[in-house]
Structure 1
Amino acid sequence: MVPTESFRDLEIFQSAVREGSFSGAARSLGMTQPAVSLAIARLERQLGTTLFDRQSSGKRQGFVTRTGEVLAAHTSRAIAEMDEATDAITAMEGRRPVRIGLPPIITHHYFPGGLDSLANACGTHPVEILSYGSERMHTELERHGIDVGMIASVEVSLGLPRVRGWKVGSFPFLVALPKASRLADRGSVGIDELEALGLPILSFTGDFVQREALALLLGHDGHELGVAAETDQPEMMRRLVVAGMGVGVATSIAFEKTQKDLCLLPLVGKRPLSFNVFVFDDVARSVRPEAELVCAIKRVLFQAARARREV
């Protein structure tokens, strides 16, 4: 039996599995990489096995050992059970917050003036805003850890059991280049051209749907992508591109405030992809907030989407 004090180590382990590296887990959790390594080492000593192949870090395929895969399956269920128990207890005591998922890029696009409208809709009810990237948000929704919110996907529907989704926007993927780039006068650029020219690719981290799109466009199904650098901040992406560190690949709304500094070209490939935005609510949560509250929050989200379409 895993002691209670080791539960945080399991959460760190799960993040390392999801991110494909200890450094990715550290970024996702706001920790240092040595702290992540120590947590994994504690679990390995306790279980008497090796959970990760350190030589495969960052490659995803082969990074998690066979025993690590077994633990990962059980860890996901354990964390979901703990979340449900916590929700049930806080609901019994009248302090269970509504969990609203809003990825940062989507928030900046649809709520440029702040979240006052959401705060007004929630009134005095406790609120927890989860600003995960859409890929991590998808993982949370798979275990029914979020009540309502917005999420992006490259698919035409969310495809999650008992999670309702309404598509409210669709945006292209772009390549961001320095103004002086030799490709700047092109009408578009293909992913095969980027590979042929050997241009370093800058990407968002694995928490974001942009990384999934890049993997699909490159045709590597999430394995090694040849990414020179990754970030979770659009402003950092802009700085790296302007400094000539590589070309950025992201949805058009990630570059809304940086167009004057960059050359932005549509990214084309064998599989056309779009950054599709959905409003969602989860009808499978074990302890759900009041239906009227969820409806009020969804009205604000739909109004924000409609307002942006009318701009």
Structure 2
Amino acid sequence: MDKRQLQIFQTVARCGGFTKASKSLHMAQPAVSIAIKKLEQEFGLMLFDRSEKQIELTAEGRVLLGHADRILDQFHQAGMAMSELSGVVGGEVRLLTSAMLGSYLLPEQLASFRRDFPRVRVRVSSEGTQRAAEMIEAGEAELGVLHLDKVSPTLEARPFACQEVVVCVAEDDPLARYPSITFEQFVQRDLVVYEPGYYLRELLEQTARDQGQPLRIGLETNLLRLMLSLVRQGSGISICLRDVLEHEPGLVALSFDEPVYLNLGIGWHRKRYLSRAGRALLEHLCGGVEDSQLDD
């Protein structure tokens, strides 16, 4: 058994079939099948159940997949560590953030980071804070924007931004003449909100439960532009961050009578190796980060 065999096995398991795996690996399908057969012969075990149209891992295969994930992750981390001995910050870093933050709070900072570190490739993916935490824990990304009040014990986070959560209404909406409204007034209207898994959606649901107020959700989406457009056209009202509405004509921001703030941070895995590219981006977004905070 070698690294390449484990990579092929892992890809087949993730793709759920030899055809998809061969395309992902840029290999001929017979070569993928032969590699899996040799692995099964080496262990004397069936790793996949081939009785159905879509193959599935056997119990033994699931055990091997857990080991393969850990072994290949160690290979990846070792490669990153060795490549950085040259002293030049390069490579790739993946940052997870919501569409709202990625569109309005990050562009200038990411642009300046690219000017300072032109050899670093930054991959920015749209994910809610809950999903971002799960993906960092699983090793699918190095960094992510997290809600600082909900950081799991396996993650570390540095403060990034504090934003007021406001009600978003069209400028010709009857509510637009008020500087602030109560949550009770808010829930009396049809709402355009994020899908479950986003913190702003969780905030609404928790507040509604605490106050015994049902939510009148008319439409849910994770498409920020669609959400704002629907509010602008009078299809409902929503919530977002105050800074967002400063760039959106035709929309008005209203505070809640008891102002709500969202404390955001950039998070990473406590025990996983953070590449120099990841460290550089973290320091750029959050300020200086001591080595002891990253190496625990």
Distance in 1 between residues matched to 2:69 and 2:182, nearest whole Å: 43
Match of 2:126 among 110, 113, 131: 131
2:209 alignment partner in structure 1: 219
Count of matched residue positions in the alignment of Structure 1 and Structure 2: 231
Q: CA–CA distance in 1 between the matches of 2:151 and 2:245? A: 28
Does structure 1 residue 295 correspond to structure 2 residue 279? yes
Secondary structure, in 3 states, of the residue corresponding to 1:236? helix
Cα distance in 2 between the residues matched to 1:117 and 1:185 = 38
How far has the Cα of 1:186 moved from its partner?
Answer: 1.6
Instruction: Report the TM-score, using the length of structure 1 for normalisation.
Output: 0.60
- Local SS of the residue matching 2:279: helix
Tell me: CA distance 1:84–1:210, structure 2 relative to 1, closer, same or farther (3 Å): farther
TM-score using structure 2 length: 0.62
What is the 5 A alignment of 1:83-98? 84-91=70-77, 97-98=92-93
The residue correspondences of 1:114-193 to structure 2 (distance < 5 A) are 115-120=110-115, 122-124=117-119, 127-149=122-144, 151-153=145-147, 157-193=149-185
> Which residue of the partner structure matches residue 284 of structure 1?
271
CA-to-aligned-CA distance 1:23-69 (integer Å, 9 cap, x gap)? xxxxxxxxxxxxxxxxxxx89x979xxxxxxxxxxxxxxxxxxxxxx
1:266 is aligned with what amino acid? S
Report the Cα offset of residue 265 of structure 1.
0.8
1:250-306 CA distance string (max 9 Å, x none): 222333321x3012211346xx63211113332322xx244x444322221126xxx
Letter of the aligned partner of 2:194 in structure 1? Answer: F
Quick one: which of 199, 204, 215 aligns to 1:209? 199
Instruction: State which drifts further: 93-102 or 232-241.
Output: 93-102
Residues in 2 aligned to 1:118 and 1:231: alpha-carbon distance in whole angstroms: 30
Q: 1:180 to 1:135 in 2, by over 3 A?
A: same
- Structure 1 pair 116–178 and aligned structure 2 pair: CA distance change class (3 A): closer
Query: Measured at CA, do residues 207 and 122 of structure 1 come closer, stay the same or move farther in structure 2, by a change above 3 Å?
Result: farther
**Structure 1 residues 135 and 210: CA distance shift in structure 2, 3 A:** same
Structure 1 residue 157: Cα displacement: 3.4
Distance 1:127 1:240, change over 3 A: closer
How many Å apart are 1:128 and its aligned residue? 3.7
**Unmatched tracts of structure 2, length 5 or more:** 1-9, 17-52, 84-90, 288-296
**Residue in structure 2 matching 1:99, options 91, 94, 101:** 94
Q: How much has 1:110 moved relative to structure 2?
A: 3.0
Unaligned runs of 5+ in 1: 10-41, 48-74, 304-311
Query: Conserved in 1, the CA contact under 8 Å of 2:13 and 2:56?
Result: no
Cα deviation for residue 240 of structure 1 reads: 0.3
Code of the residue aligned with 2:279 in structure 1: it is C
Q: Which residue of 1 is the match for residue 261 of structure 2?
A: 274
Q: Does 1:239 align with 2:229?
A: yes
Of structures 1 and 2, the larger Rg is shown by 2
RMSD: 3.9
The separation in 1 between residues aligned to 2:168 and 2:108, in whole angstroms, is: 25
Quick one: which amino acid aligns to residue 239 of structure 2? Answer: V
Name the amino acid aligned to 2:253. Answer: L
Evaluate the alpha carbon distance shift between residue 93 and residue 236 of structure 1 in structure 2; reply closer, same or farther with a 3 A threshold.
same
Matched, 1:265 2:254: yes
- Percent identity, aligned pairs only, is 17
For 1:147, give the aligned amino acid: E
